[in-house]
Amino acid sequence: MPRSHRERHRTGRIGWLRAAVLGANDGIVSTASLIVGVAASHTTRSGVLVAGVAGLVAGAMSMAAGEYVSVSSQSDTEKADLSRERKELAIDEPAEQKELALIYVERGLDLMLAQQVAEQLMVHDALGAHARDELGISESLTARPIQAAFASAGAFAVGAALPLLTVLVAPEARLMPVVFGSSLIFLTVLGVVAARVGGAPVMRSAVRVVFWGAIAMGLTAAVGALFGTVV
């Protein structure tokens, strides 16, 4: 007998991948920018490290809270839609079956086949069929607030740790350019890895994160140098 084959698609990674990439990118960019800005104001290495560690902790907590609140709102909306759909099925299941069949007709099935498909799917799992085909809610794409919060915070901390480690090993006299250059390398690697995991174009992903990271660090360095001279 031939073995069953289950294809693996990247859509199942969307939730955690988005949170992880966003967290790591923000960790590198915000912490490196903070370090570069503070270093540009002629602060000592210890002062730069304190600022960087504070930025890591504050940023990780902010990312976790932001992701949790945002994805929880999405989850609440999904639950409300499912609750309403469950009530509609209880009140008038034939009308809901007809509605599902019309969805399949719009997707290309003829009416008779669409009615048969709708009937069989609703016998198997009526709410699941409507959640997937009417509401667009599936198991792989459903909102998971806690998963998103931990992925985002953890990725931010890992990303932020990279420029902080650079501060420890870089010569103090060349702290700012070394952190700037190494952070661009980190961002390039992140863009490549994210593109390969998500199946996106590698070059576009890498250029995108490096471009905005360079702008953020450049502007912060300018502000640091300006206020370091004035204050």
50 or 144: which leads in pLDDT: 50
Assess whether pLDDT exceeds 50 at residue 9: no
Helix runs in 41-108, H state only: 45-91, 93-106
Residue 228's pLDDT is what?
66
Integer Cα distance of 166 and 147 in angstroms: 29
Assess whether pLDDT exceeds 60 at residue 14: no
Mean residue pLDDT across the chain = 82
Residue 18's pLDDT is what?
65
Residue 134's pLDDT is what?
75
pLDDT in tens, 177-227: 999 999 999 999 888 887 777 677 888 878 888 899 899 999 998 888 887
Percent with pLDDT over 90 in the chain: 25
Question: Could you tell me the CA-to-CA distances from 165 to 4, 36, 158, 217 in Å, in that order?
Answer: 48, 14, 11, 17
Work out the pLDDT band at 143, boundaries 50, 70, 90.
low
- In this predicted structure, which of 53-67, 132-146, 154-168 has the lowest mean pLDDT? 132-146
Work out the pLDDT band at 8, boundaries 50, 70, 90.
low
Q: Which of 12, 5, 24, 7 is nearest to 197 (CA)?
A: 12
Averaged pLDDT for residues 122-127: 82
Per-residue exposure over 187-223, b if at least 16 CB sit within 10 Å of its own CB, e if not: bbebbebbbeeeeeeeeebbebbbeebeebbeebbee
Percent with pLDDT over 70 in the chain: 87
139 or 65: which leads in pLDDT: 65
Helix (H) or strand (E) holding 152: helix 145-169
Helix (H) or strand (E) holding 14: helix 14-40
